[in-house]
Chains A and B, each alone.
Chain A
Amino acid sequence: MAEKSSVFDMIGPVMIGPSSSHTAGVVRIARAAIRVLGAVPQEAIITFYNSFARTYEGHGSDRAIIAGLLDFKTDDKRIKEAFDFARERGLKYTFKSVGNASTMHPNTIKLNLKADNREVEVVGQSRGGGVISIVEVDGFSSNFSATLHTLIIDADDKKGSIAFIASVLAHDECNIATMSVSRKGRNELARQFIEMDSGVKPVTLEYMKQLSWIKQVIYIPNIDL
């Protein structure tokens, strides 16, 4: 049976208009992306695809994405003036529009972000009602909503690594909601995307980071918090 809706899906969410998929969802994609980057970026290239490519200005999705990159929440009244805040914070940005990307969801955004010497590429879909899915990170395919607690782990592609990580999380009493593994080739680096119902303790994160075969751990608590 599908998950039951909340009273606050009916009377809510509290959000900035005009539409949940063009504002709230867009803010969330950016909030997820800056957590992958680990900082508010200094430079951003934002590509709007398909339906978004034509409609993003009229619906204010350009302001929404900048607001999210500045870590504003979905109900923040400053979203409308996001461009002014970007200037103040020194965020440089470029918008691009691409249509007819037939393999992509109608409301897709690609973010290329830069902060100091770190760069990430994140592709997200705004799926309606403010719900998002992050479908690609640095070329690795993924599928997480970022409304639970998400772990992104880069590890050597070796036998038993998934079971090991799942066991470590179980010892921290984290219930895994979704998990996907993506690798670019056999025996190459694999990236694991794990969504959990509750947060991970710092000591557990630290432990995983110390393991020789784990190259990177990115932890993204619920992006609405």
Chain B
Amino acid sequence: MSLLFNDFKSWEKHCAETGELLYQPVLAYEIEQKDRTEEFIWENIARAYDVMKDAVHTGLTEDMRSRSSMVNNGAKKVASSPVTVLSPEFKMLVSRALGAKEVNSCMGRVVAAPTAGASGILPGTLTTLQELHGLSDRSIHEGLLVAAGIALIIEQNASLAGAVGGCQAETGSAAAMAAGAIVYCLGGSVDEVFTAVAITIQCMLGLVCDPVAGLVEVPCIVRNASAAAIAFSSAQLAIAGVNAVIPVDQCVAALGEVGESMERKYKETAEGGLANTPRAREIENFVLVQDVEILPDEEGS
């Protein structure tokens, strides 16, 4: 029987007992639970990574303007900005995460990882990591399987959906997946990988889902960029041996608890937060369909 990814503790124990690398039980899980061949899994992980690379490229080269006009070629602006605020690498990271997410907002092809709203984070972080460290595609593919294992656990013990757990569940989970994958790809220990996940959740905890006019644009796109940056800062802390103090499974439980107690207006309903600002309400007026036939309220029901 394969590991079922109920928590991080059992994943760690499994690897300690068998000497397997973190990605191996993820592979075994998919083979057993979903009746898939190992070949099928590697092929489709490779395809997912190709789509991610393609999204980064598209976001940095093609015209990225959404119908609402809230998205207007942000990634290209960052990449070609004359001012480098921190380092060329940081600029590259931010522009890539932004670009892949802009492709999503502009009806381009992306990988929902774990969701469409967070689809810029793994592409931005992993393509940047691969380039900076000269990593092989195989190494990144293993990292993606590790990221999938992380998401399977978060899905079971908290949530991956903004409508259920707020933005922390979407971009927070994606950032945690990315941070874990980064540390794994750089040869970090199991403990360091899970510490990176724990620290990332600590950084992303509490983010509400408050999309302007209900569109997956503002603030989703800029949060993909910041989440990518947090994935890197968490990975740096974890791989250096900084202690997360709160064990990763308990961080996931906290993510679930915060998500559960979040008010409905902060869960993708476009009723609270940024979505409820005067400017957002103006934008709604030209984005939303106005010609709607409203049925009468049912009486006596």
Q: Which of A5, A63, A96, A99 has the most CB of B within 10 A?
A: A5
| B15: Cβ under 8 A from any A Cβ | no
Q: Could you tell me if A55 and B288 are in contact, using CB atoms closer than 8 angstroms?
A: yes
| B229: Cβ under 8 A from any A Cβ | no
Q: Could you tell me if A10 and B289 are in contact, using CB atoms closer than 8 angstroms?
A: no
Interface residues on B, range: 35 or more
Neighbouring A residues of B113 by C-beta, 8 Å: 10-12
Q: Could you tell me if A16 and B47 are in contact, using CB atoms closer than 8 angstroms?
A: no
| B109: Cβ under 8 A from any A Cβ | yes
| B110: Cβ under 8 A from any A Cβ | yes
Instruction: Flag the segment in B81-89, B141-149, B199-207 that touches A.
Output: B141-149
Neighbouring B residues of A20 by C-beta, 8 Å: 112, 115-116
With both chains docked as a complex, state the minimum distance between the C-beta of B22 and any C-beta of chain A, in angstroms. Answer: 13
- Total of A-B residue pairs, C-beta within 8 Å: 152
With both chains docked as a complex, state the minimum distance between the C-beta of B269 and any C-beta of chain A, in angstroms. Answer: 9
| Neighbour of A5 across the interface among B104, B155, B297, CB < 8 A | B155
Q: Could you tell me if A17 and B108 are in contact, using CB atoms closer than 8 angstroms?
A: yes
- Closest partner residue, chain A, to B173 (CB atom): A10
Q: Which chain A residues (105-144) contact chain B, with CB distance < 8 Å?
A: 128-129
- Closest partner residue, chain A, to B107 (CB atom): A80
Q: Which of A15, A98, A101 has the most CB of B within 10 A?
A: A15
Q: Could you tell me if A10 and B116 are in contact, using CB atoms closer than 8 angstroms?
A: no
CA distance A97 to B294 in the complex (A): 8
Neighbouring B residues of A98 by C-beta, 8 Å: 292-295
- Closest partner residue, chain B, to A20 (CB atom): B116
With both chains docked as a complex, state the minimum distance between the C-beta of A25 and any C-beta of chain B, in angstroms. Answer: 11
Q: How many residues of A contact B (CB 8 A)?
A: 41
Once A10-B114, A18-B105 are accepted as A-B contacts, the answer to whether A4 and B289 lie under 8 Å apart by CB is no
CA distance A63 to B107 in the complex (A): 10
| B21: Cβ under 8 A from any A Cβ | no
- Closest partner residue, chain B, to A96 (CB atom): B293
User: 1/0 contact trace for A1-33 toward B, CB 8 Å?
Assistant: 000111111111111111110010000000000
Q: Could you tell me if B295 and A101 are in contact, using CB atoms closer than 8 angstroms?
A: yes
Q: Which of A7, A14, A54 has the most CB of B within 10 A?
A: A7
Q: Could you tell me if A99 and B107 are in contact, using CB atoms closer than 8 angstroms?
A: no
| A100: Cβ under 8 A from any B Cβ | yes
| Neighbour of A14 across the interface among B47, B294, B301, CB < 8 A | B47
Which 9 A-B residue pairs are closest in the complex by CB-CB distance?
Answer: A17-B104, A10-B151, A10-B148, A97-B292, A18-B216, A80-B107, A7-B148, A54-B288, A100-B295
Question: Which residues does A use to contact B, with CB under 8 Å?
Answer: 4-20, 23, 48, 53-60, 63, 75, 77, 79-80, 96-102, 128-129
